[in-house]
Structure 1
Amino acid sequence: MGNTKRDSGDQSQLERFRDLARELEADESEEAFEATVKKIVQAPKPEKTDEE
């Protein structure tokens, strides 16, 4: 509860997350988020097959 000190395991996970975000060129801006959402929304729906 309310621990502000993190274990070394948590810190390394945080660093791995940050490294991956940098590698993927993640962007925290609202404009980038909105642009990504629009791409997803505008994507064509996959055609259904008889198996579904």
Structure 2
Amino acid sequence: MYYNKEGGFSMQDIKTYLSTAPVLTTLWFGSLAGLLIEINRLFPDALSFPFF
């Protein structure tokens, strides 16, 4: 990890952090949970989805 002369992190460090597996997994499962919550809010107690 390299520091800029201002003392911050470089853009490459931020891109490397955001492309790591735990961050991507958290974003994936968070968006999946949000999608499932919204589907259940719009179609409550649906055992099948006949529109597929």
Higher normalized contact order (CA 8 Å, seq sep 6+, divided by chain length): 2
Establish whether TM, by shorter chain, passes 0.5: no
**TM-score, normalization by structure 1:** 0.40
**TM-score, normalization by structure 2:** 0.40
